[in-house]
Structure 1
Amino acid sequence: MTVSPLIWGITIVVILALLAFDYFFHIRKAHVPSLKEAAIWSSIYVGLAVLFGILVLIFGGGQMGSEYFAGYITEKALSVDNLFVFLIIMASFRVPREDQQKVLLFGIVFSLIARTGFIFLGAALINSFAWVFYIFGLILLLTAGNLLKPGDHGDNQANNFMIRLAKKLFHTTDKYDGDKLFTTVNGKRALTPMLLVMVAIGGTDILFALDSIPAIFGLTQNVFIVFTATAFSLMGLRQLYFLIDGLLDRLIYLSYGLAAILAFIGVKLILHALHENNLPFINDGEHVNVIEITTGLSLSVIIGVLIVTVVLSLISPAGKAQTAINNARRHAVDYLDLDYTADANERERIYRALTAEEAQIVQMPLKYRNKAKDVDAIREQVKEAHRQHEAFLNR
């Protein structure tokens, strides 16, 4: 189905309006969103995405509607996986919790711009060169393999090339000045960590697009569907971050589920490339008679894999143990370095979270407790957090 310029225009205006609303009504005043606020707005954005999908289903037909929902669910799952890296980046830069919303919104906007560029570039390549499907398929298979490597989310993504270059070329400071991007230190203008963390988020967003865009092109080649499914999957990502913050580590099998989905779509793309083949060294440039995977089957596989992945993660004793231990370590480290935030309630919030996680850990079998990496160092950090809290109360 060909989408008219009017529909394109209305859709882009709606998306820009949602981003503007997010900034002026939620982000402008720095604050830590409550669980209730995050839950309500996450539900609203998911509801808007589903409503848009229903409209596509009604006016575009069953095929177009199925492609939208398959693309949206896949991109949303990949976005949740990306939150792991956002969490690591913001922890590395010690971003004040009340300013994390602004960093996330910047990441969403930058990601939307970067992915839009990749979408139109990908569409142009597909229209001109059918063999691009082979490349997209191989990219997804390689990405699936990388997701299965241990420690996929543990790398320090903040120390990337763009950050090292910025620190080398410009005068930077390690201290935040509210949410300002620039500040003055000893009479000299300097970049704050707020600007550097945005650069880090933007750089990783480009890397995310390299597997995200081939994945959705494996489900549909309709540029309107690719764009809208990608855009709506990014909407509400900021609220989702605060809603599931602390539960991200619990999804210990998410990387396996995503690897299975990307590998499945990669195979689907290669089969489609063989069906459309015009490369002379494959079957003498003739089409290869292979099975083509339908959108309905793709949607079923994606939903099924995600359900199994999430359920297994949530009921797994190892997942519960890993979540509590990782969060205890994170909150102990945060408590020992509270000069990065101006929020007076942050000390008590972090300490309450730490004690709750300790109570969980104590009730777990030793075999799960002792599996944690650097468990002795974590115990020392927790002990020091208790000592500092006691000293704070006795001041």
Structure 2
Amino acid sequence: MDVPFWVWALTIGLIVGMLLFDLLGHVRTPHAPTLRESAIWSAVYVGIAVVFGLLILWFYGAQFGGEYFAGYITEKSLSIDNLFVFVLIMASFGVPRELQQKVLLYGITFALVLRTVFILIGAAAIANFSWVFYVFGAILVYTAWAQARSGGHDDEEDFKENLLLRVARRIFPTTDEYHSDKMVVRLDGKRFITPLAITLIAIGSADILFAVDSIPAIFGLTQETYLVFAANAFSLLGLRQLFFLIDGLLDRLVYLAYGLAVILGFIGVKLLIHALHTNELPFINGGEHVTVIPEIPMWLSLTVILVTLVVTTLTSLARNRRDRAERLELQAQEAAERVGEDEDGGAPDAGQLLSEDAPGPRGGTER
């Protein structure tokens, strides 16, 4: 895939422009976005990503178009899973809702820069060392196993501060309260960082862990550096709006972790098979290529990803409907039991009423 410099420059300019538009047009004034605003802008960003994919399809053919869409869908799915962690972080630090947009945008920008560096390192490693595919495949298979074993995110789990955060708290004095959207304030002649800055450090350090499975996953679908960069960038853009759009729906995707485990495991196996086809390690088949198992074509990869996500979403929604029906049935049973208890113990019977109204020794009613 031959991508001229001006196409690279135009793509990077478009992405930087979208980030600046977000920063200057949306989060400059702190506010909590409405559901309508989030839905509109989420659709806009997804639409831009789809149009970009159609241009790849038009100018470079179905193979590269399929690689881009498979990469974009996979990275978007992983980004949605990352939102669970963002929710935990911001809940842990008590970030006011009107400041959450800015926190997310700064975190997304940091993630984009970090992943660009990882992409360049990964591309250079792949170009010089074919055994890197073994490493990437092993990382994804292990991540898939860990994802399936965890079973997703517990609603009651808490965010635990990592070493980087603990060191930051020791080095920099921190205020206990937020000061609007400021990250550094001066109090009594001394500089303090605010909880907003600590939250950004937490999200930034989490982004490093996210990149560990994100970058091998996309390289398992395409080795074209331009497509890897574009799919990552467009999957991150619009993530801020998506957060507010599905914030209340995240806990309903109960099987998302299992779906992502299937996708990551599939891509990991795909990478290992590719590594065998390009094998140069002397202790595997004497350094010769192993072509017994055919490589997985792109159309099959895209099909597996889409089918897995559809099944994951539908089964999650069905599970939520079933759980909601069971809760309603349990509440109805508890209400019926309470009514029965009131009828049995709350109202006096006829015998009690007659004995209470019987005349006393002096012809009156006993009191």
TM-score range normalised by the length of the shorter chain: 0.7 to 0.9
CA distance in 2, matches of 1:50, 1:319: 34
CA distance in 2, matches of 1:38, 1:99: 15
Which amino acid in the other structure matches residue 116 of structure 1?
T
Instruction: Return the match for 2:163 from 148, 161, 164.
Output: 161
* Equivalent pair of 2:152/2:256 in contact (CA under 8 Å): no
Return the offset for 1:13: 0.2
Instruction: Return the match for 2:286 from 271, 284, 287.
Output: 284
Larger gyration radius, structure 1 or structure 2: 2
CA distance in 2, matches of 1:121, 1:300: 29
CA distance in 2, matches of 1:233, 1:364: 41
Task: Please name the residue that 1:357 is paired with.
Answer: none
Task: Please name the residue that 1:141 is paired with.
Answer: 141
Task: Please name the residue that 1:21 is paired with.
Answer: 21
Task: Please name the residue that 2:125 is paired with.
Answer: 125
* Equivalent pair of 2:144/2:260 in contact (CA under 8 Å): yes
* Equivalent pair of 2:278/2:289 in contact (CA under 8 Å): yes
Return the offset for 1:365: 3.5
Return the offset for 1:151: 6.4
Structure 1: runs of 5+ lacking an equivalent:
322-359, 370-395
CA distance in 2, matches of 1:162, 1:206: 12
* Equivalent pair of 2:175/2:193 in contact (CA under 8 Å): yes
CA distance in 2, matches of 1:363, 1:280: 63
Residue 316 in structure 1 maps to residue 316 in structure 2: no
Which string of whole-angstrom CA distances, capped at 9 and with x for unpartnered residues, describes residues 32-91 of structure 1?
Answer: 100000000000000000000000000011101000000000000000000000000000
Deviates more, 1:174-183 or 1:71-80: 174-183
Deviates more, 1:309-318 or 1:84-93: 309-318
Which string of whole-angstrom CA distances, capped at 9 and with x for unpartnered residues, describes residues 350-371 of structure 1?
Answer: xxxxxxxxxx9962536xx9xx
Task: Please name the residue that 2:116 is paired with.
Answer: 116
- Structure 2 vs 1, CA of residues 186 and 363 (structure 1 numbering), >3 Å: closer, same or farther? farther
Deviates more, 1:299-308 or 1:144-153: 144-153
Instruction: Return the match for 1:177 from 176, 179, 182.
Output: 179
Residue 363 in structure 1 maps to residue 328 in structure 2: yes
Which string of whole-angstrom CA distances, capped at 9 and with x for unpartnered residues, describes residues 187-220 of structure 1?
Answer: 4211100000000000000110010000000000
Residue 296 in structure 1 maps to residue 307 in structure 2: no
Which string of whole-angstrom CA distances, capped at 9 and with x for unpartnered residues, describes residues 148-194 of structure 1?
Answer: 23365345445111110011111111210001001234442111000
SS of the residue corresponding to residue 363 of structure 1 reads helix
Which string of whole-angstrom CA distances, capped at 9 and with x for unpartnered residues, describes residues 272-322 of structure 1?
Answer: 00010000000000000121001110000000000000010011147755x
Task: Please name the residue that 2:74 is paired with.
Answer: 74
* Equivalent pair of 2:172/2:192 in contact (CA under 8 Å): yes
Instruction: Return the match for 2:228 from 218, 226, 229.
Output: 226
- Structure 2 vs 1, CA of residues 66 and 195 (structure 1 numbering), >3 Å: closer, same or farther? same
- Structure 2 vs 1, CA of residues 309 and 362 (structure 1 numbering), >3 Å: closer, same or farther? closer
SS of the residue corresponding to residue 27 of structure 1 reads coil
Task: Please name the residue that 2:351 is paired with.
Answer: none
Which string of whole-angstrom CA distances, capped at 9 and with x for unpartnered residues, describes residues 216-254 of structure 1?
Answer: 000000000000000000010000000000110100000
Task: Please name the residue that 1:248 is paired with.
Answer: 250
5 Å matches for 1:309-348? Answer: 309-317=312-320, 320-321=323-324
CA distance in 2, matches of 1:317, 1:156: 23
Task: Please name the residue that 1:345 is paired with.
Answer: none
% same residue: 57
- Structure 2 vs 1, CA of residues 310 and 362 (structure 1 numbering), >3 Å: closer, same or farther? closer
SS of the residue corresponding to residue 26 of structure 2 reads helix
* Equivalent pair of 1:143/1:211 in contact (CA under 8 Å): yes
CA distance in 1, matches of 2:166, 2:322: 35
Deviates more, 1:143-152 or 1:9-18: 143-152
CA distance in 2, matches of 1:13, 1:315: 43
SS of the residue corresponding to residue 150 of structure 2 reads coil
Task: Please name the residue that 1:380 is paired with.
Answer: none
Task: Please name the residue that 2:87 is paired with.
Answer: 87
SS of the residue corresponding to residue 78 of structure 1 reads helix
CA distance in 1, matches of 2:268, 2:312: 19
SS of the residue corresponding to residue 30 of structure 1 reads coil
SS of the residue corresponding to residue 190 of structure 1 reads strand
CA distance in 2, matches of 1:2, 1:284: 34
* Equivalent pair of 1:252/1:319 in contact (CA under 8 Å): no
CA distance in 2, matches of 1:52, 1:250: 31
* Equivalent pair of 2:152/2:255 in contact (CA under 8 Å): no
Structure 2: runs of 5+ lacking an equivalent:
335-367
Q: What is the TM-score when the length of structure 2 is the normalising length?
A: 0.87
CA distance in 2, matches of 1:126, 1:320: 47
Which amino acid in the other structure matches residue 308 of structure 1?
V
Task: Please name the residue that 1:9 is paired with.
Answer: 9
CA RMSD of aligned residues (A): 1.8
Task: Please name the residue that 1:259 is paired with.
Answer: 261
SS of the residue corresponding to residue 277 of structure 1 reads coil
Task: Please name the residue that 1:269 is paired with.
Answer: 271
Q: What is the TM-score when the length of structure 1 is the normalising length?
A: 0.81
